[in-house]
Amino acid sequence: MEQEQTVQNGYSVKKEVWEWIKALLMAAVLVILIRWLLFTPFVVEGPSMQPNFYTGERLIVNKLIYDFRAPKRGEVIVFHATEDKDYIKRVIALPGERVRVEGDHVYVNGQLLDEPYIREAVEQARQRGTFYNVRNFPETTVDEGTVFVLGDNRSNSQDSRDIGMIEFNRIVGRADIIFWPLSRLQWIH
């Protein structure tokens, strides 16, 4: 009887270990698939997206969304700027639209763009008697299959004014969540 119980206990321990191994392997496969196909982490580097994103913040980028639709104005995207460097910027103008930057104003198709995400920073600069943006950009039409992007920190950003339009195939995805530091945990609007 005692030997039979040991065999059953030995069998149940082996079975339990095997079940844990299978569960961990399935979890690892899911993490890898989700990481490669759906979402990817991104670390913000540099001041180009301040006051909304800061160096060292970690974001979750939705890689799948642009397989189903084109980027929209105001969305924050991550894209391949070079072979080994990704940038984070905000979509300002879409294919076929005319865009120009004059001081703190951005015009799309001749209409002043409302930019609530930098409104406070622009107002603070005006109170100091300065412009928030000191880099203008002449009116240009956005090419088909591309978007025009700007950093939120307009005077300190390498963006479409410098590197040109961003082709859809260079876009990694849309920044959806700030997940680190925890004090900044939030959905990105």
Which of 48, 63, 157, 160 is flagged as catalytic? 48
In the chain, which residue ranges form alpha helices assigned H by DSSP?
2-33, 119-127, 160-163
> For this structure, is 155 an active site residue?
no
Which of 14, 63, 89, 157 is flagged as catalytic? 89
Nearest alpha carbon to residue 132 among 147, 148, 115: 115
> For this structure, is 63 an active site residue?
no
* CB neighbour list of residue 78: distance below 8 Å, 6 or more residues apart: 42, 59, 61, 86, 87, 88, 171, 172, 173, 174, 175
Give the separation between CA 42 and CA 35, rounded to whole angstroms: 12
Catalytic residue list: 48, 89
